[in-house]
Structure 1
Amino acid sequence: MTDVHILGIRHHGPGSAHSVAEALAALRPDLVLVEGPPELDQVIPLLSDPDMVPPVAGLIYAADEPRLASFYPMASFSPEWVAIRWALSTGAQVRAIDLPAAHTFALRVAEEAAGPPSNGEGEDTAADGGPSTGGGEPPAQPQQPYRPDAIAMLADAAGYSDAERWWEDAVEHRNTDPVDRFAALTEAIAEIRAADDRPGDHPDVMENNRREASMRRLIRAAMREGHARIAVVCGAYHAPALMPAGFPPVAADNKVLAGLPKAKVAVTWVPWTSNRLSRRSGYGAGVTAPGWYQHLFTHWMAQDPGTEVSTTWLVRVAHALRRENLDASTASVVEAARMANALAAVRGRPSPGLAELDDAAQAVLCDGSPLPLALVHRELTVGLELGTVPESAPTLPLAADLAATQRRLRWKPGAMEEVLTLDLRKPNQLARSVLLHRLALLGVEWGIQAETGRTTGTFKEVWTLQWQPELAIALVEASRYGTTVASAAAAYVSERAQDAGSLTELSNLLAGCLLADLPDGIGGVVQVLAERTALQQDVAPLLETISPLARTCRYGNVRGVDVTGVRKILDTTVVRACVGLPTACAGLDDDAAAVMRRAVDSAQQGLSLLPDLPLDDWHRALAAVAGSDRIHGAVAGRATRLLLDAGLVDGNDAAARLSRRLSVATPAREAAAWLDGLLSGDATLLIYDPRLLQIVDDWVAAVDDEIFDDVLPLLRRTFSAFSRPERREIGEQVSRRGGIVQIAGEATLDLAAAGPAVRTMARYLGWEAMV
C-alpha cells in the first residue's frame, strides 16, 4: 500500500521550505509531487543544471496566442524549488500536479468571450500563493481568483502580522517531527475551509474544485503505479482536500473535469527577479521581503548555532549603508542588535523579526531617518537578484538570437534600473543602440530612450535599462514575425506600415527603421508613405510629416544609410504643403487653428534640420499667411514670428503689424490670439524691442473691463510659457517705462540714468580716460 504524505506549504515561504527539506529527508519518498501544471514535467529536469540559478520562473503560454501565458516563479527559498532539487539530487521521481495549463488557457478564452462576471467578484489575487496560477503577473494574464492564505490566517489569529514570523515561532522553534508539523497544519486548515460558506457555483469555488479534482486524479494515478512512499508539496489551503483518506468518489472528480476545453501550449524557463517576487509588484503569491526571506532560509539551512539571524542581517545593513558612503560602525551594529532584541522582548516575540530589525536599524544606524533605510529596503529587503537559465532550456529562435547578440556585445541584462549613455561613434555602442531600437519596434522595451540634455548632436543616446520577466512574453509574441531580431523587426514594421492610420505614424516608423538599421523595413515604409502622401489632400498632415522625414534624412546622412527615396518624398511633401498652406489656413475656428499652428511649428522644426530644402517656397507661403487679415490670428501671428526669426521681417515692420493687429478695430480675442502666435516660445521680442513691449502694454491697458475677463486666460497662457527671469525682466521694463524717452517714435535710453553703469563698465575695460 502506498504511503502518501501531504506537505501543505506557503509558497515562497522560507520556513515552509526548511520544513519541507527536513520532512523529505525523514520520509525519503520515491516520488515527489509538486503543485504546478503537468506541462512543467518536460522542463523540471533542467533545475538540476548548475547554470540554473534562481530566481527563475516556468513560463507556459498558448502556442497560437502567446498573450495567454502564466509564470510559475521559484526562488531558492521556495518549497517547490527545494522539493524538486531534493528529488533530482536523490534520484527520486518528481512531477507537477494541478489543472493542466491547456485547460486553464482555454477556459480563460471562454470567460473573456462571455464577458466579466456580473457580481463583480473574482478580481482579487491568488492569496494562497499558488505559483500554479501564475500569480496574477501582469501583463501576461489577469489576476487570479481569491483563495484565503490559510497560513496567514493562522498567523493573524495568533496575533502575528507576518506569516513567516509566526511560522518561525510556532513551527521552526518546535522540536517536533517535521511530518507531524504538516499534519497539525492540515488539521487547522481543514477548520478554516469548513468555515468557508461560499456556494458551490461561485466562480472561485468552481475554479478551485477543478484544480483539486485534477490534483487528486494525478495522485490516484501515482498511487496505482505502486510507489512505496509519495510526498505531495502543495499550497496549504489545498492540503485537506488532497488527503487520500478523504478523497471523494472518482466519478465525482471525473464529472468536475469532464468536457474541459484544451489549448496547445509550450513551456520553458525564464529568468526572474527578486523584485517580481514581491507582493508590491502585483504578484498574487508574492511575499513582502524576498531578500529577507532568502536571508532567513540561508540561516535556517546552515543550522549554525553560533550565528544569529538578526546580527548577520544588521551586518549586511551596515555594509549596504557604507556602500552609500554613510557611517555604520561596528559598535552601532552591536547596539542595533541589542535594541532589536529589546524590542522583540517588549512586543512579546521569541526573537527579533524584520519589523524589529528595521526599527533598530533606523534608530541606531540611520539616526532616525527613513531615507537611508529605503536604500536598504531596495537592495537587501527586496533584493536585486536576476536569475539565469541554461542554454539547454527550450527557447524560440528569436530569443536565442537575442541572447547570442547580447553575448556578442558583452551585454548582460540586469534587474536593476540603470542609465546608459551610448556614444554612437564607437562600433560596439552603435550596435547596442541598433539592438535597443529594434527591440523597441517589436515592443520589447528592455530600454526606454531618455533625453540627451541640451546637446543637439546625433552621436549620443541615453537609455534607461531594466530587464523585466514579462519581456519574455513580448519575445514570444514577436517571434511570429521572424527568427532573428532584425528580420522580425523589419517584418513587423512592414505590417504596421500597411495598417498605419496617418502620415505622421508612417514617418515615425520610417525614423525608427533608420535608427534600427533596417533597410528592408525602410523600403516597405517608403513605398506605403509615397502612396499615402500622393493621395493626401489635407495640408496639416503633410506639414506634420516634414519633421520626421527631415530627421530621417539627417540621421541617414550621419549613419551612412541611403535615403534617396525618402528625400524625394520629403521634397514633394514640402512643395505640396507650401502651395496649399495659404488656402488651408483660411476659415479656421479656434480648434482647427491650434492644430494648424502645431503643424506649422513642426514643419519649421523639420525644415531647419536640412539647409538645402526649398525654404524660399516655405517663406513665401508663410508671408501669404502672415499678410492676410482673413486668417485666424494664432496662425497669422505664428507665421509673422517665423518670418521675423528668419530675418525676412524687420523690427519696424513687426511693430507696425503688431500695432495694426492690436488696434481698437480688431476684436480683443482675435488680437490676443495673434499676440499669442507672435510671442509664443520665448520673450526675446519683448525684452530687446521696447517698441513692441510698449505697444503690448498700451493694448492691455486699453482693453475694456468686460472683454478683459475673456482675454485674460489667453494672455496668461502666453506669458506663463516664458521663463521666470524673462517675466521678471518684462515686469521691470514696464515699471521703468517712465525712464524711456520717446523721440520721433523711437525709444532711446536715458543716458543720465545710465551714467553710473557706463562709468563702471569703462573702469572694467580700462577706458576711464574716454568717459
Structure 2
Amino acid sequence: MLQDTLTPQLQAARAKFAGDDGIFWAPIRHHSPACSIYLRQLLDSVQPDAVLIEGAVDFNRQLETLLDAQTVPPVALYGQNSFYPLYDTSPEWVALRWGRQHNKSLYFIDLPIADKAWQREDREHGGISFLHEAYLQHSEFIRKLVQTTRCRHGDELWERWFELRRFDDPAQFFGRVFDYCTAARLTYSEQAIADSGDGARERFMRGEIARHAGKGQRCVVVTGGFHTYALLDWQNAPSHKPQQASPSWLVRYSEDRLDALSGYSAGMPVPGFYRRLLQWRSDLPEYGVAEELLLQVLADLHQHPLFRQQMNTAAKQAVFYQAMQLQQLRGHAWPGLYDILDGLRSVLIKHDAAGDEPLLKQACSLLAGDRLGQVSSALPPLPLVDEVYRLLKRARFKLEQTTKVTTTFTIRQRDNERLALLYQCRFIGLGFAEKTAGPDWEHGLHLHLRSEEWQYAWTPWVEARLVDLSLTAPDWQSLLNQRIQEQLAELRDLSLAEHQKFFVQLLLMKRLDLAHELWRQIGQQLNDCSDCGQLAEFLLLLLRLRQHQNELFEHYAEPIRRVVKQAWQQLMFMLPALNSLPTSAGLRLLLQIREITRECAEALTDDWQNAWQARLHWLEQYGELSVALRYACLALLTELGDGGPAELCAALGKLFDYAPEAAYQAVNAVITVTPYYLLHDDALGLPALLNRLLAGWDEERFMSALPELRLLFSHLDPAAVEKLGDTLCELNGWQAAPPLFNADVDEHLLLQARHLQQQLAAQLKADGLEHWLEPDE
C-alpha cells in the first residue's frame, strides 16, 4: 500500500533527476564505500567544471588545508562545537581529492555553521553533527522494507542492496539510491522536514546550486540522498546574500567516532570493515575481493587474545567457509559485514545467542578500528592543539589511537612531571585523562598507596576543546594562568575546605607559583574559620602531603610553614568550642590534634606542644565538657606525662561508684584515644575497671553494647588482643585461652583470615546484625 502511494511521486521525481540541465546528481549515504566507488566513476565520466558538496559554506576557507597531501583521514572540519567528519570511505572525501587531482572547482554549499537551523539538528556525542541520517534510517518506508526483506535493521538492508551488489554504471547506482532515499523522504510531511531544520538547509543549497550552475558550469552535486529530491527544483531557488564565514578548523578524527553502533546517525556500522572493503574493491580484480577481505578480517580478529584463544586454524577455515557460503546463498557479490558476523556466530557460539552476544560485539569493536587521522605538519599549527600534543608526546603518552590506554605511575621524582601534566589536563577539563586509582590527595585518603592509575586517550573532542580554549588563551601556560586566576576569584567567598582543595590541585599540577594570591586568601580564611574540625583537617592534610609528596613542598617551605603556624594558633584559639560538639565528633577532633602533634614532632616547637597541653588543662577544668570528652582530655594529658595511668584509673574507679553508665562512657572515650592503656594489667588498671563494669550488666545491656566494644578493641593489634584476653582470664579465674596470635604470618594465612572475615560479615548480615559491622565491611 505504501509503495503504491509513492510511485507517482517517484516517477515525477525520477524524470527531474534524469533531466539534462547541466546538473549531475550524486545522492549518497555518508561514508558509504559503494557511493565512493560510483562517485569516482561518475566524475571520471562527466568531467564536470565544478563539484558541489553538502557541507557548510564556511568550510570553503579550509579547502587548501583539507586537500594538503599529508592530511590523512579520518579528519573533521570543526566549528561551533560541531564536526563534519571525512573518512577514506566518505564520498565527499573522494569528490574533494578528485577535484584537486583534476584541477576542478570545489565548493561546499550548505548553510553557514552559525545559522540557527543547525541548532535543531540531532546532537551527537555532546555536540552537533553537520551530517546526519536519522530521518532516512527511521522512515516508515525503510521500516517496512526491513520487515519485507527479513533484514535485521536498515544498515543490513543498505548493505545488501547497495554495498554488496554490482551495478552497470554510476547512473544505474545513483538512480537506485535516489529511489530509495526519496521513497523514505516522502513518508514525512513537509512540516516535519521544516521543523527539523532541513527545509532551511535545502533552500540555501538550492540557492548555491543556482549561483554556480548559473555561470554555465557543468556541476556534479554530492549531497545526502535524503536531500536530493528537494534540490531538483534549483532553478526556482531564491537568491541569498553572502554571509561572513565563521571560524573553523581541521582536526584529527577517529574511526570509533564514525561508528553507527556508537550512536553516530550518519555513520556506517563498523567503519574499519568498510574501509577494508573499499580498499580491496579499489585495488583488486573483482574475483579476488572476497578471499582477500575475509583473510584480512580473520587476521585482524586474531590479534585479540579472545579470538586467538577460540579460533584455531580449523575454526578460521570454518568461519571462512561459512561466510563465503552465506555470501553466495544471499546473492552478494562479496562477503558483507553480516555474512561474516553470522559466520562467526555459526562456528564460535554453541548456544542460542542474542543479537548483542558479547563475542560478536567484541568482533565489531575490533573491526571498527581506532585509527586517528593526521593533519599535515606543513600547515600552520592549530592554536594550543599542536603545543599540547607535543607536550604529551614528549611525556611519552601514546596518542596514535583513540582506544583508552591504562598507565600506572609510581610516585617518585621522575614521574612527577608526567603526573603534573595529567593533573593540569584534568584541571582545565580537556577530557584527555581520568584518574582511576591511587591516593586521594585532595582529601588526604589512602595516602599509603604508592602508585596512581590513569586512563587516557587523545580524541577529536580533546582537539576540539583545545581549539575552543585557544580563543581565550594563546598557549598552555597562559591558559593555566588564566584559569587559576579565575578560580582564585571564585574562591574569595568560599570556605577553607574549597581553598584547601584548590591548594592541593595546584600542588599536584606544580603550579603554585601562579597563585600568589592564594596564600593571602588562605590566611584570611584561617582567621575567619571557627570550625575546629576543618582547621584540624587542613593541618593534617598539609602534614600528610609533606610526608608523601615532600619534593613538591621544597619550593614552598616558607609560605607553608607560615600557614601551618597560623592554622595551629587558630585551632588552639577555637578549641573551647569542643564543648558544643557531639561526643563522637569531639573524640575525632582530639585524635586529629594528637596526630598533628605526633606528625609535627620535629617541625613544631616546644611552645606549640605547651599550648596543646595548656589547652587540655583548661578544657578539663573549665571547658564544661561531657563526661566522655573530659576523660578523653585527661587521658591525653596522661599521655603527655601529666600524671599517670594509675591516677586516671583511680578517677574512673570513683566514677563507677555513683554513675556506672557515665563511667562506661568515660572508659569508652579513654580507650578510644589511648587504647594501649588496656594493656596495663594491674588490679586497678583499665581492664579491671572494664571487667567490673561488664560484670554488672545483664545480657540485654551487654548485647546492645557489643558492637561498640568490638569497635573499641579493633584499635588493638592481634598481639595486644591476645594479651588483653590473658588478663581478663586471670581476673575472672578462667582457664587461659589458647594462643591466638602467630608472629609467623604469611600471605596464605592473611588470605585465610580475609576469607573468614568475609564469612563472618555475611553471617552477621544474614542474622540481621549489620550494625555490628564497620561501614567498610
The TM-score range, normalised by the shorter chain, is 0.7 to 0.9
Shift of 1:654: 9.1
Map residues 599-638 of structure 1 onto 2, 5 A cutoff. 601=592, 604=595, 608=599, 611-613=602-604, 616=609, 617=611
Map residues 469-618 of structure 1 onto 2, 5 A cutoff. 469-479=460-470, 482-500=473-491, 501-550=494-543, 555=549, 557-558=551-552, 560-581=554-575, 583-588=576-581, 597=588, 601=592, 604=595, 608=599, 611-613=602-604, 616=609, 617=611
Q: Is the 8 A contact 2:324 2:335 kept in 1?
A: yes
What is the aligned partner in structure 2 of residue 87 from structure 1? 99
CA–CA separation in structure 2 for the residues paired with 1:451 and 1:390: 37
- Among 222, 225, 229, the alignment partner of 1:232 is 222
What is the aligned partner in structure 1 of residue 370 from structure 2? 384
What is the aligned partner in structure 1 of residue 772 from structure 2? none
- Among 270, 277, 288, the alignment partner of 1:306 is 288
What is the aligned partner in structure 1 of residue 187 from structure 2? 195
What is the aligned partner in structure 2 of residue 208 from structure 1? 198
What is the aligned partner in structure 2 of residue 56 from structure 1? 75
| Aligned-partner residue type, residue 322 of structure 2 | M
Going from structure 1 to structure 2, the CA distance change for 1:194 and 1:563 (only over 3 Å counts) comes to same
Shift of 1:604: 4.5
- Among 213, 226, 249, the alignment partner of 1:223 is 213
Q: Is the 8 A contact 1:17 1:78 kept in 2?
A: yes
Q: Which piece of structure 1 moves more, 599-608 or 285-294?
A: 599-608
Going from structure 1 to structure 2, the CA distance change for 1:479 and 1:332 (only over 3 Å counts) comes to same
Q: Secondary structure of the residue that 1:35 maps to in structure 2? A: strand
Map residues 161-310 of structure 1 onto 2, 5 A cutoff. 161-171=152-162, 172-197=164-189, 200=191, 205=195, 207-234=197-224, 236-244=225-233, 249-251=236-238, 265-279=246-260, 281-304=262-285, 305-308=287-290
Q: Secondary structure of the residue that 2:27 maps to in structure 1? A: strand
Going from structure 1 to structure 2, the CA distance change for 1:397 and 1:291 (only over 3 Å counts) comes to closer
Q: Is the 8 A contact 1:686 1:692 kept in 2?
A: yes
Shift of 1:718: 6.0
Aligned length: 698
Going from structure 1 to structure 2, the CA distance change for 1:529 and 1:390 (only over 3 Å counts) comes to farther
What is the aligned partner in structure 2 of residue 66 from structure 1? none
Q: Is the 8 A contact 1:424 1:430 kept in 2?
A: yes
Going from structure 1 to structure 2, the CA distance change for 1:266 and 1:737 (only over 3 Å counts) comes to same
What is the aligned partner in structure 1 of residue 318 from structure 2? 335
Going from structure 1 to structure 2, the CA distance change for 1:360 and 1:608 (only over 3 Å counts) comes to farther
Q: Is the 8 A contact 1:442 1:478 kept in 2?
A: no
Q: Is the 8 A contact 1:268 1:393 kept in 2?
A: no
Q: Is 1:10 the equivalent of 2:29? A: yes
CA–CA separation in structure 1 for the residues paired with 2:692 and 2:376: 73
Q: Which piece of structure 1 moves more, 623-632 or 506-515?
A: 623-632
- Among 27, 35, 41, the alignment partner of 2:54 is 35
Q: Is the 8 A contact 2:496 2:526 kept in 1?
A: yes
Root-mean-square deviation (CA, aligned residues, Å) is 5.2
Map residues 297-376 of structure 1 onto 2, 5 A cutoff. 297-304=278-285, 305-308=287-290, 311-321=294-304, 326=309, 328-342=311-325, 352-361=335-344, 364=347, 375-376=362-363
What is the aligned partner in structure 2 of residue 98 from structure 1? 110
CA–CA separation in structure 2 for the residues paired with 1:704 and 1:265: 80
Shift of 1:474: 2.9
User: How high is the TM-score relative to the length of structure 1?
Assistant: 0.74
- Among 12, 19, 22, the alignment partner of 2:38 is 19
Q: Secondary structure of the residue that 1:586 maps to in structure 2? A: helix
Going from structure 1 to structure 2, the CA distance change for 1:498 and 1:350 (only over 3 Å counts) comes to same
| CA deviations over 1:186-220 (Å, ceiling 9, x no partner) | 234333322214x72x5962512111111111111
Larger radius of gyration: 2
Q: Secondary structure of the residue that 2:108 maps to in structure 1? A: strand
| CA deviations over 1:342-401 (Å, ceiling 9, x no partner) | 5567788776543442343355457779666555443x2332212222235565543332
CA–CA separation in structure 2 for the residues paired with 1:688 and 1:13: 82
Going from structure 1 to structure 2, the CA distance change for 1:607 and 1:687 (only over 3 Å counts) comes to closer
Kindly, what percent of the aligned residue pairs are identical? 20
Going from structure 1 to structure 2, the CA distance change for 1:412 and 1:697 (only over 3 Å counts) comes to farther
Q: Is the 8 A contact 1:740 1:749 kept in 2?
A: no
| Aligned-partner residue type, residue 578 of structure 1 | M
Point out where structure 2 has 5 or more consecutive residues left out of the alignment: 1-19, 440-444, 744-777
Q: Which piece of structure 1 moves more, 217-226 or 274-283?
A: 274-283
CA–CA separation in structure 2 for the residues paired with 1:405 and 1:641: 55
CA–CA separation in structure 1 for the residues paired with 2:628 and 2:26: 74
Q: Secondary structure of the residue that 2:522 maps to in structure 1? A: helix
Going from structure 1 to structure 2, the CA distance change for 1:3 and 1:705 (only over 3 Å counts) comes to farther
| Aligned-partner residue type, residue 219 of structure 1 | I
Map residues 120-135 of structure 1 onto 2, 5 A cutoff. 126=122
| Aligned-partner residue type, residue 226 of structure 2 | Y
Shift of 1:656: 8.7
Q: Is the 8 A contact 2:68 2:376 kept in 1?
A: yes
Shift of 1:499: 0.8
Q: Is 1:448 the equivalent of 2:434? A: yes
| Aligned-partner residue type, residue 102 of structure 2 | T
Q: Is the 8 A contact 1:438 1:486 kept in 2?
A: no
Going from structure 1 to structure 2, the CA distance change for 1:547 and 1:49 (only over 3 Å counts) comes to farther
CA–CA separation in structure 2 for the residues paired with 1:469 and 1:490: 25
Going from structure 1 to structure 2, the CA distance change for 1:490 and 1:673 (only over 3 Å counts) comes to farther
CA–CA separation in structure 2 for the residues paired with 1:450 and 1:487: 28
Q: Is 1:466 the equivalent of 2:457? A: yes
CA–CA separation in structure 1 for the residues paired with 2:668 and 2:740: 35
| Aligned-partner residue type, residue 469 of structure 1 | P
Shift of 1:323: 8.8
CA–CA separation in structure 1 for the residues paired with 2:500 and 2:654: 40
User: How high is the TM-score relative to the length of structure 2?
Assistant: 0.73
Q: Is the 8 A contact 1:4 1:244 kept in 2?
A: no
CA–CA separation in structure 2 for the residues paired with 1:611 and 1:512: 27
CA–CA separation in structure 1 for the residues paired with 2:372 and 2:650: 67
CA–CA separation in structure 1 for the residues paired with 2:329 and 2:654: 82
What is the aligned partner in structure 1 of residue 126 from structure 2? 138
Q: Is the 8 A contact 1:70 1:137 kept in 2?
A: no
Going from structure 1 to structure 2, the CA distance change for 1:232 and 1:144 (only over 3 Å counts) comes to closer
Q: Is the 8 A contact 1:493 1:509 kept in 2?
A: no
Q: Is 1:416 the equivalent of 2:416? A: no
Going from structure 1 to structure 2, the CA distance change for 1:237 and 1:143 (only over 3 Å counts) comes to closer
| CA deviations over 1:422-463 (Å, ceiling 9, x no partner) | 456565x44323322222222224222343489968985543
Shift of 1:737: 7.8
| CA deviations over 1:592-630 (Å, ceiling 9, x no partner) | x76995897599579738841367345765787799996
| CA deviations over 1:212-237 (Å, ceiling 9, x no partner) | 11111111111122212323233x21
What is the aligned partner in structure 1 of residue 10 from structure 2? none
Q: Is the 8 A contact 2:677 2:686 kept in 1?
A: no
Q: Is the 8 A contact 1:658 1:695 kept in 2?
A: no
CA–CA separation in structure 1 for the residues paired with 2:35 and 2:640: 74
Q: Secondary structure of the residue that 1:444 maps to in structure 2? A: coil
